[in-house]
Chains A and B, each alone.
Chain A
Amino acid sequence: MTTKRLLRKGLLIPILLAGTLLCQAQSKTVSGTVKDDKGNPVPGASILVKGKKTGATTDAQGNFSISLPNSAKDLLISYVGYETQDIPVGANNSMVVVLQPSSTIMNDIVVVGYGSQKRKDVTGAVSSVKGNLFKDQPVTNVTEALQGRAAGVEVIKNSGAPDETPTIIIRGVSSLHQPAPLYIVDGVRVTGDNINVQDIATVDVLKDASATAIYGSAAAGGVIIITTKKGPSGKPAVTFSVRDGVTVPKLVHLLDKNGFIKLENIVAPQFFSTATQTDTLPNTDWVKALYGNGTEKNYNLSITGSTPNVNYLVSGFYNQQKGVYLDNWSNIGGARVNTDFNLGKYIKIGEELGVSSRKTSPPVPNRNDLGYHNAPFRSLPIIPVYNSDGTYGTVPPGYNGFNFSGPNPVGAILNASTIDVKNNMQSNVYADVSLPLHLNFRTNLGYDYYLETEDYFQNSFYYGPGSEQTFNSLSKDYIESTQVLTNELLSYNQNFGRHHIDALVGYEQITGTYNTVNAYESAVGLAGYSFLQTSASGLALTGYRDPNELVKSQFGRLNYNYDGRYYLALSARQDANYTVFGPDNQKAKFAAVSAGWNIGDEVFWKKLMPEVNSLKLRGSYGTMGNSNIPPYTYTASYGQFTDAGGLASGGQNFAPNGPLVIANTFTSIPNPHLGWETVTESNIGLDGEALRSHLYFSIEWYNKLTSNMLYALPLPTSSGFTSPYFVNIGNVKSTGWDILLGYRDKAGPVSYDVTFTGGFNTNKVTNLDGINGNALYDGYNYLNYGDQTFNIMSNQNITMTKAGLPFGSFYGYKVIGMFQTDAQAAASAQPNAHAGDLIFYHDAKNNGATLNPNDRQVIGNPNPKLIYGLNIHLTYKGFDLAALFNGVAGVQLFNGVKAYEQYPYADGNTTSKVFGDAFLGSNGMTNQPRLGYQSATGFVLDPNQNYTSVNSYFVENGAYLKLKNLQIGYTFVNNLFTRWGVRSARLFVMGNNLLTFTKYTGLDPEVGAAYSAAQQSGFVGTSVGVTTRGIDAVPQYPQTRVYSAGLDVNF
C-alpha cells in the first residue's frame, strides 16, 4: 500500500515540474536532433542553456525541444563519451548537432560494482578495455581477449588446444587457493567465462579493494565486469563477420631411425650394433603422425536497434576449431538476446539471455595414459604406425630381445574417442523503477544453467607386451549445475549545489545446486557411447546432488564528491556462506574506503601546469574475502574408503567370489573454526592526461596482505588421514605497480594510438605460523601427468612454498659448474662424478662429506616481476593496423623438456641434442652434461644425476616479448556498397603469436602452471596452479601460430 502511494507521488512530481516550466514567460522554443559521428541519433543527450539551470534531454530518436529565455545565447550539448558542443542559438529554431567522440578518456563510462561512474569520478583501481579492441581476434573467451591490454592483469596462454581457457592472475598471486576472478555480465554474477567476445561492449577489471569490496567474499581474485552491447541506433544495424584461419604448431623433433640407432649403439649396443638388417626397419616420425596444421573458423551475426520503447540486441555466433593434434577439435555456437523496455517514464524492464554450446573432442582424458605431449618422447622411430597386417605398430622382433613397453601413440588416440559437450545458459531479468526523492530501485533475477556431459570410449588395445588391455570400456560423466541469483538495489543520486551524493544499499542471495553422475562400464557390447552390458561387464557408478549452496549478502556504498574535485567513497558488505565454513564463522564483513582529488580541475593547477590538462590522485584501503575451497571441509563424515588406487579398496569380501562388504570410514578430521581468508589492500593511483589529452597515463601502487590464509595442511601420514586439513594460517604479501601510458594523435592522414601497460609484482609468503615444517612441495618433471614415478626426475618435487619465499619457488641442487677433469671430480663431494658432470653446491660444514638432499636450495622464482603489453593502432585512409605485443620479465622457468631432449629416458626416444652431451661417442668436453660412461658391464647412464635430479641446469631465464597479434584491415565505403544496403565492409588479415623474442631455449617461454599433484589432492586451489608455475613439462599441448583472414560487413 505504501509503495503504491509513493509511486503515485512519484508520478506527480514531473507533472508539477512541467507546470513550473510552462509558467516562465518571455521564452522561445528551439528543437533539434543530436546525432553521433556516424549519423546515428543519440538518445539521452543532455541539452543545457549556458549559464542557466534550464535543460532537456533527447528522446529515443535523438530529438529534443527546449524552451529558453530570449536572453539565452548558447546551448551546451553533451553526451557521455563525446565532446561537449557549444552551439549559438541565433535565429535558427531548428538544429542538427553532430557530436564528435570525446578525446578524453576521463568521460568514459566505467562500470563498477552495482553501478557505473565516469572515469573522472572513479577512486578505485579499474582497468577498462573496449570490446572493439579484440573484436576480430581469434579468441573465444574474455580472459584471452584481455592479454596484454590491462595493466596488472596477467594472462597466460600456454597451449594451443582449441578449447583452452588461459590462466588469469590479477595483481599477482596472493593465496594458495587463489580464486579466479569474479565474472559479472550486465550486473549479474555468472559462473565462469562463457560469453561471446563479439557481444562485448566493454570489459572493466576491478583491481583494488575499494572497487571490489562491494563484492565481498568473492572478490579476492579481482572482478571482471562485462557489459554487452545494446542497440544504440534508430534503425536496425546488422553486422556480419566471418574469419577463417590456419593454426600451425610449434614442435619438438625426435631422433629418426638413424639417429636412434646411433645412440643405441652407444648406450645399449647389444641390440643393433651386430644387427645386419637395420635398413629394413621403419623410420616413423611420430611427431608428424600426431601433429599437423589445424583450422579456425568463426561466424558472427548481430542485429541491434531501438525504438522509443525498446532497445535490443540479437546475436549469434559459431566458432569451429580443428586442433593441431590428431582427432582433436572443438566447436562452439551460441546466441544472445538483450532487450530493454521502457514502460512509461519511470519503469524500465529488460532481460539478457545468453546461451552457448561447445562440443569438443579433447585429447584427454588420458587415452591409455598417453595424454598429450609436445612430443611423444615415449615412442620409437623403428616402430611403424601400423604393422603389415594392419594392426597398430609394435616393435619389430629379432633384435636381440629389443623391447618396448610404451603405447603406440597413434593407436592410443585412435583407439579411443571422447566427446565433451558443455551447454551454458545465463539469463537475467531486471526491473528498474525511478522513485521519488531521487531514489531508484532495481531488482535482478538471474538464472544460470550449466550442463556438461562427457562420453569416453576406450577400445581394447595391444601395442606390445606391457601395453595392452583386453577389454573395452565406456565412461559417461554428467555434471549439471544451476544457480539462482537475486538482488535488490536501492540507489540515491543527487546534487546539493556542488555537493554530489551517490548512495546504494543492496541485498543479494545466491543459491546453487550441483548434480553429478559418473558411470563406467567395461566390456560394453558395441563400440560407441551406449552402455550395452555383456556378461563380462564390470560397472562402477558414483554421483551426488548437492542443493545446499547458499550465499547471502548485504552491502552498501556511499560516494560523495564536492564539485567534481574532492571525492570520498565508502563501501561495505557482509557475506554469509553456509557450506564452506564452520558454524562459528559463516559470516564475515568486508569494507573499503577511498578518496580522490581531481587536481587538474583546480585553478592553481591550470595555471601551474596547463599542459597536464587532467590529473587525479586517489587512494584506497579495504578488505576482500576468499572462500575458494571445497565445501564441507570443516566437518568430518563417513565416506566410502578410497586408497591410493581409488575405489578398488572401497569394499572387501572374505571368501572366494563372496559378496563385497562396502567399506566406509572417516575421510577427515573436523575443524569447526575454519573461517574466511582476508585480503587487505592499499592502493594509491595517479591518473592524468596531458598535451590536450594526447598523452594519457595511470600509475598505481598497491600492497596486498593476505591474512588467515586458507591452508590445506598435510596431516602427518601417521595420522592415517591423507586428505587436506583446512586451517587459517599464514600471511602473504603481494605488492606492485600498475602502469598505463598512452599517446594518440594524428600525423597528417595517419592517426595513431599507442598504449603501454605494465604490472610489476612481487609476492612472498611471510608466515606459515611454524606449522608442519613450513613447506609445501609440488611439481614433477612428468612424462605423463600424474605419474610421479615414471619420469626422468622420478619422485622429486620441483617447487617449494614456504615462509620467506614466493609461491612455488624452484627447489633443487644448485649447479656451480661442470667438472673439467676426473681428478677434480674425484676430489668432490659427488662420489660418482667424472669430467663432464655437473658440480652441485655442497655445504660440507653442515651436510657431511657427500652431497645429500639437504644441499638442495631455492634455484628460481617462476612468478614474473613484470608483465607488460604494448598496443599499437594506426589508421590511414581506409587502412587500419593493430599490433599487440605482450611480455614478461624477471622470471625463471624450469625447462623440464630439456632433460628429455638430451637424455634417452627409459624405453623412449630423445632429440638430436643428445649428441651434444659431453664425452658421448667421440665428444670431448662440451657445454652439455655427460650422459654416462661405458663400464665393463655396459653403459651406465647418468651416475651423477645430471639429468635425473632437479637442479639449476634446467632453470632458465623466462623473459620474453611476443608479437601476439598483428592485424591489418581495409574498410570499403563506396556507393556500390550503399546501393546493396551495405554501410561498410572491412577486410582483414591477421597473424597470432607471430614472433617471440627470448633467451629461453625451450619451445615457447609462455609457460603456465603444470599439473599439480598438490592441487589434485586438494592442497592447492584449482583456478591457478600457484605451486607449479613456470614448469615446462613434456605433457603439454603445443603452442600454435594462427594466420587468418576475415570480413566484417555492416548493413
Chain B
Amino acid sequence: MKKQIITLSLLGVLFTGCTKSPTLVGNPNAYSTGNYPNTIDALNSVLAPCYSNLRDPGLFGFHYLPKCISNLEHAVNSIYGGDQGWDAMAGANFDYTNEYVNETWQVCYTGVKNCNVLFVGANLFTNNFAKPTDLPTVALIRGQAFFLRAYYYFLLEGLYGEDNVPNPTPADTLGVPLFAAVPANLAQTQQPRASSKAVWAQIENDCDSAAVLLQGQVWSGNDLGRVTEWAAKALLGKALVFTKQYAAAKTVLNDVITNSNKTLPSYDIARGAAIGIKADEFNSEFLFELNIDQQSNGGYGVYSSAPNATTINGLIWPPWALGSDGTETNCQPMGYGNEIAHWKNVLRYGYNIGTYNLVTNPNYNAAAGPSYNNPQQIMDPVYKAAALNVRNNNLCDPRAFIGMIQPWVDSVEPDGAHWYPVSRPNFEQGPGTYGWSIRKYSPIFNNINNVGPADAVDLQLLRLADVYLLYAEACAQTGDNVDALTYINMVHRRAYGYPVGSPSPVDYASLTSPTVAPDPVLSNNPLYYERWAEFFNEGQWWFDVCRWHLGLSEATYYASAYNVTSPLATTWNDKSYAWPIPIEELNSNQAITLQDQNPGY
C-alpha cells in the first residue's frame, strides 16, 4: 500500500509539470507600446528624453564642446595627447572614423528618434486615453518636441550638410537623412541623404509647428526651462539667416525682438550666468536654456547610474589654482585640466599688455611659511596694476573676462572655501606665456571633483544677443545698414556696461568700423567680431566660420595648437566645412554609399 502511494505520488509529478502555453509574453521590465503612455505624466515622460538627450556625453553632456567645437574654434588649446580624435579636432583634420564625428551624429539622431517617439505616444494617448481637457497639454507637449526635432536637425545640417562646402556649389546640395517618423521596420531605417533644402524645409516647418502649438504659453516654476513660441521663432529666424532667406528672417526675428518681452540683461548678470550663479540664470535674455544642476545624484556626472540634470564639461577645461605652497609649479587644476584658453584669444579681445613675470613677494611672511595666500613669488606688481587698469577701464573687450580667467588677477575656490589666486597651468608657464584658463562653463567655486563631478552652469543654447546679431546680419544683407548697426551696437554696449538702448562712446560708427581684434578678418567687421566675442566658447562660432568660409583665416590667425604638429594654416582644408558622414553610418546604412560622402573624405 505504502509503495503504491509512493508510486502514485511520483506519477503525479507527470501531471503537475505542465504549464499552459502562453499566447503572448510581455517583457516585465518595460512598458508595452500598446498601452503606454496612458496619462499626461507618462506622456511628459516620453517628452523628457527629447531634452535629456542633449546631455548625452557625446553632446553637451561632455564631449561636444570641450573635445570638438571648442578646439575647432580654437577657443581652447588642448594639452591632452592621448586621444587622436580629439587632436584631429584641434587640427580640423578629422576623417570619417573620428569618434566625435560619429557620436555627435548618433546623439543628434537619437534626439530626432526620441521626438518622433513622442509623436507616436501623443497619438496613442490622444486616441485612447485623453480627456478633452488633456488636449491643450498634449498640444504643448507636441510643440516642444517639434522644436527639439528642429534643433537636432539644425545641428546635424549645420555640421554634416554639404551646404557650406564651396566646391562644388550646386543650388541644392546633399543634406542629412530625414526621419519624419519612427522607423517601423528595417527597411525604413535605411534612409538616403535628403537634399539640404528638404532638411531646412523640415526644420522651418517644425519651428512653425512648434510656434503655433506653443503660442502664448508662458512657463514658470518647475517648467521654467521648457521651450516656448519664442524659442521656436528664434530658431526659425536663425535657420532662415543660415539659409540666406534674409527677408523672411527679418520678419521672424523682428517678431521675437518686439513681442517676446526679452531684453539684454547687464554685463554682470551675463557674467554671472557664465559661471552658474543661479540668480543670473534664466535671465531676461534666455530663449532656450538647458537647466544644469550641480548634482550628479551620486554618480560620475553624466555617467551616473541615477538620473540627474548635470554635465561635466568643466572637468576638461577648469581653471588652475595656485599650489597650496603658493607656487605656480605646484598649481592644481580644478578638474582634469586638459585645456586652457588659446592665448590668441587674449589678444583678440584687445588685451595688449603682454605677459607677466614672477617676482619675489615683498610682503612674504617667512614665519608663516609659503602658502597660496603667502606666496614667495608673485605676479610682477607693476604688471598687475596695468592688468587691473585694463580691466577697470575697459581697455580691452570686457567679454574677455566672461570667457576667460586671468592668472593672479582672478581667484578661484578649489576647496570650496578659500579663494586662491588663479595660476598658469603647469604646461604653460614662464616668460612669454599667458596661461589664461576658460571661465565660461567652468567650475570656479569648487574643484569639480568635489561636487560630483558636476557642472553648475546652465547651457545657453539660444539667447537674445544671438537674435539681435542674426537680425543685424539679415538687415545688412538686405541693405538696411542702419538697423544692422543698431543691433550690433546694442550687443556691444551691453558688453561695455552702457545702457543698451542709447548711444554710447564705444559704438561702432559703421559696419566696417575697427574692432579690438588684431586680425585682418575680424578687425574691420563688427558683425563678425561681435558674434565671435559674444558667443566665445558657446559652440556657435564654428557654424559662422563654416558659413562665412573663415577656415583658412582662422587657422592663420591661431597658427598653432599644442596637439597639432603642423602649422594650422598649412593643413587647413575646405572640406572641413562639412563633417564627413561617419563610418558607422556608412557601415550600417545601405542607402548611403561612399559616393554620397561629403567632398574630400
Contact = CB atoms under 8 A, between A and B. Distances in A.
Interface of A: 3-4, 7, 343-344, 347, 349, 397-398, 400-401, 403, 405, 431, 433, 443, 445, 465-466, 468-471, 473, 486-488, 507, 509, 511, 518, 520-523, 537-542, 544-548, 550, 552, 576, 578-579, 583, 631-632, 635-641, 643-667, 669, 671, 713-722, 725, 727, 771-773, 775, 777, 788-790, 794-796, 853, 905-907, 935, 940, 943, 948
Contact of A583 (B23, B27, B296, B565): B23
Contact of A651 (B14, B185, B307, B332): B307
A470 B303 CA distance: 16
Contacts of A579: 25
Contacts of A487: 17
Contact of A720 (B82, B109, B336): B109
A644 B301 contact: no
Nearest to B7: A347
A656 B61 contact: no
Contact of B51 (A3, A652, A720, A935): A652
A641 B582 CA distance: 24
A789 B29 contact: no
B291 A433 contact: no
Nearest to B219: A654
Contacts of B51: 652, 654
A349 B6 contact: yes
Nearest to B446: A470
A431 B10 contact: yes
Contact of B55 (A649, A664, A722, A935): A649
24 contacts: A344-B3, A397-B329, A401-B429, A511-B19, A520-B298, A538-B298, A538-B299, A539-B298, A546-B27, A631-B27, A637-B27, A643-B302, A648-B55, A649-B302, A651-B48, A651-B309, A661-B48, A662-B307, A665-B113, A667-B30, A669-B189, A713-B588, A715-B186, A795-B84
Contact of B45 (A662, A853, A940): A662
Contacts of B13: 431, 443, 445, 486, 488
Contacts of B282: 655-656
Contacts of B427: 401, 403
Given A648-B55, A649-B52, A662-B48, 15 more contacts: A540-B299, A640-B307, A646-B305, A651-B309, A652-B48, A656-B282, A658-B224, A661-B45, A717-B106, A719-B113, A772-B590, A789-B99, A790-B82, A795-B97, A853-B95
Contacts of A771: 590
B322 to A, nearest CB: 13
A635 B30 CA distance: 11
B185 A773 contact: no
Interface string B199-224: 00000000000000000000101111
Contacts of A714: 584, 587-588
Contacts of B225: 653-655
B281 A656 contact: yes
Nearest to A797: B97
Contact of A721 (B4, B189, B587): B189
A268 to B, nearest CB: 11
A727 B42 contact: no
A156 B52 CA distance: 44
Contact of A718 (B42, B83, B105): B105
Interface stretch (B175-183, B464-472, B540-548): B175-183
A523 B450 CA distance: 12
A636 B106 CA distance: 20
B57 A644 contact: yes
Contacts of A647: 304-307
Contact of A772 (B23, B46, B306, B588): B588
B222 A637 contact: no
Interface stretch (B31-39, B239-247, B267-275): B31-39
B107 A643 contact: yes
B28 A544 contact: yes
A443 B11 contact: yes
B298 A658 contact: no
Nearest to B110: A720
Given A638-B36, A666-B33, A540 B306 contact: yes
A671 B187 CA distance: 12
Contacts of B97: 795-796, 853
B337 A659 contact: no
A613 B447 CA distance: 82
Contact of B297 (A538, A641, A652, A671): A538
Contacts of B281: 656
Contacts of A795: 84-85, 97-99
A247 B109 CA distance: 52
A661 B427 CA distance: 43
B77 interface: no
Contacts of B103: 644
B117 interface: yes
B265 interface: no
Interface string B5-22: 011001101101111011
Contact of A644 (B14, B52, B107, B120): B107
Contacts of A788: 99
B56 A649 contact: yes
The 5 tightest CB contacts between A and B, nearest first, are A538-B298, A720-B113, A651-B307, A486-B17, A522-B298
B394 interface: no
Given A639-B29, A648-B299, A583 B183 contact: no
Contacts of A347: 3, 6-7
B186 A727 contact: yes
A552 B21 contact: yes
Contacts of A343: 3, 6
B114 interface: yes
A510 to B, nearest CB: 10
Contacts of B19: 509, 511, 550, 552
Contacts of B191: 716, 718-719
B237 interface: no
B477 interface: no
Which among A550, A631, A641 has the highest number of chain B CB atoms within 10 Å?
A: A641
Nearest to B14: A488
Contacts of A796: 97
Interface in B551-601: 565, 582, 584-590, 592
B449 interface: yes
A278 to B, nearest CB: 17
Interface in B401-453: 426-427, 429, 447, 449-450
Contacts of B6: 343, 347, 349
Interface in B104-125: 105-107, 109-114, 116-117, 120
A829 to B, nearest CB: 16
A55 to B, nearest CB: 27
A251 to B, nearest CB: 25
Contacts of B302: 643, 645, 648-649
A152 B323 CA distance: 63
